[in-house]
Structure formats: structure tokens, C-alpha cells
A = this chain, B = another copy of it.
């Protein structure tokens, strides 16, 4: 049998993996997880359903989070993908189809496929900006409606995509969808928890959130599904025979320490999204320095408005051709300089995140990226 070993990623390195930078836990979350770690610990004072539990204060947390997100109600889910599956499962019927942007995450696709619901993807502006505009959505609604004989049952919008860190114009796209009778599910895996997002002002019907990705939640995977009132009866529907148990989360979803992790992370989240402008400035600074230095090209839209930065790196690719470690030289070189989180072997392009770095770390990161061009 195998040892899992110790993970020292955060203790020994600057981690720039976009998947992980906003999922780092705060000290009080670590303390809470340690205290509430055992199986079903959060069910000590069970009142029949996780969402009505007052000790730990899950019920009040869900109210607070609904207000924070500008939505009417919120369900705890096992993650953003499980939230997306739940919405599709609740509102789509056989023969329906759904629309998603051309930068949709694979988990949107598998959530639809598991429901046997086909997905039509919008075009994007393609290389190098990969933007998706309201026009792309409108075109695909029309095209798909012709193909399937009905309008889409749902549009899933990737608020911030995980490849380029582009931010959709959700307000305009939602409006276009609603004008055509299409409800909107916003995948906020890379937005809520990092940046301010208000579902009401964006005009979305559902929001899927990834707590372990962007809400600093540890101790297990967790997500949130925030819902506008008019859809509650369909998505937050209860079992016929167990009327306290929401069907789409099989009664209780995050029935472990992840829910206390999320509750204890929440005050940090509420504070940190207020500093989103600093995060954006950091990203823009890093990008500008790289572009100015030469050998780097941005993938994604300008101006940069998110901490996830994708770059093409012809400068590194040239080195890889000659280097004895080939494409692996970059991740090895970075690691030897205390930076981790780049997919090993890639030198043509890569993505990284500046989320949570302080000025000194940011400067060191940029200097290191530039310096490695000269090895």
C-alpha cells in the first residue's frame, strides 16, 4: 500500500497554477477542517437536511452567500460541475439542446453528455484573442434552433474561461438569451470568489461556483449553485416522500469538512473580492513586462482583466529545441528557482496565474520568466 507523502507546494514554492492559486486555504479554515474532519461531523445537530443545519451555521451561510452573489437562493453542491449537471438535469428534456460558448470547460460538456443533451458551441474570434461576443451567441442560437427545431433549453456561459482568462460580456449575452427565451447558467468557476460578481445585475438565472477552485475552500471538493427565484421550484425541488431532501443533491451534498471550510473562508472571500483591482493590476503588470521583454505573445483578450494569463512563448520554444531536457527545461528551471505550477513539457505556450502574489513575489516571477530566456 502506498504513501501519499507530504505536499509542500505552498510552503516551498511560489505556485502559479491557475487551478490552485485561489483555492489555497486560510489558517482559520485549516483549523476548522481539522476540528470538523471526521465523517459526518457536520451532522452532529442534523435537522434532517444539510441546508437547514444551524450548527455549524449552514442555513445562515446559504442566506449570506445568496445575498453576496445577488441571487435568491443557493444550494451546496459537490462542485461547479455537479451544479451544472443539476441544472441541466432539472430543466432539460429529451430532444432539448443547450448552447455554450466556444471556450466552455470540458466539465460543461460532460455534464451535458451525462444528461444525453447535445451542446452547440459558439464560434470565438480565434487565435490569438479567443473572444466570444454577444453576436456569436445570437448566431448560434439561430443556427441551433434551425438544426434542432427548437431554441436551446439553456445557455451555459463560461464567465471566465480557464484557457485564456477572458471575461464574457455576460450582461449583454444574458439579455440576448432572455430576449429569445433562453435561461442562462453562468459558470463562475474562475470568477466568484476571486472577483465581485452580482448575478442580479448580470441578469443570469443560475450561477455555478467552484469553492475548491476560487473560494479558498479546502478539505474536499465543494461548490455552490445559486438560483433566481423563478427557477427554484424546478431546480431546488424536494423529494416526494422526503420533503426536506432536495433531489438534485440527493438530500445532502457536502456532508463533510468542506462545508465548514467554505463557511470559514467566506469572510475572507467577501474581503478579497474588494481588492480585485489590485489582482488585475498585478496581472496587467506581469503581462506588460513579459510583452515588453520580447519573445512572449498574449493568448486572450486585451486589456487583461483577470489573473489567469496565457502566453505563447517562442523565446522558450527556441531554447527547448537545443536544450538537453527538451521541453521540460522550463518547468525544471522554474522549479529550481522556486516557482511551480506550469505544466511540465510545455514551452510553446502556457498559462499561469498571479492571484494572491504580493508585489515582491510578482516582481520575482516576472524577473525569473525574463531571465530564463537567457539561459
Chain A residues with CB under 8 Å of chain B are 1-10, 17, 19-20, 22-25, 30, 32-41, 43-44, 55-57, 60-61, 64, 78-79, 81-82, 85, 89, 106-107, 109-111, 113-114, 211-214, 216-222, 239-242, 245, 247-248, 250-251, 253-258, 260, 263-264, 266-267, 270
Contact = CB atoms under 8 A, between A and B. Distances in A.
Contacts of A251: 81, 106-107, 110
Contacts of A32: 4
Given A239-B113, A250-B85, A267-B1, A38 B56 contact: no
Given A19-B40, A78-B78, 9 more contacts: A1-B61, A2-B60, A17-B40, A30-B34, A82-B250, A107-B251, A111-B250, A218-B257, A258-B258
Contacts of A39: 19-20, 22-25, 211-214, 216-218, 221
A248 B142 CA distance: 31
A57 B2 CA distance: 7
A18 to B, nearest CB: 10
A260 B4 contact: yes
Contacts of A113: 239-241, 247
A109 B4 contact: no
Contacts of A37: 25, 30, 33, 218-219
Nearest to A19: B40
Chain A contact residues: helix, strand, loop or mixed: loop
14 contacts: A2-B56, A5-B56, A7-B41, A9-B44, A10-B38, A78-B78, A107-B250, A107-B251, A110-B247, A114-B247, A114-B250, A212-B256, A220-B221, A221-B255
Contact of A38 (B20, B35, B245): B20
Contacts of A107: 250-251
Complex copy number for this chain: 2
Nearest to A20: B40
Contact of A40 (B3, B23, B64, B250): B23
Contacts of A267: 1
A239 B277 CA distance: 39
A301 to B, nearest CB: 25
A97 B253 CA distance: 25
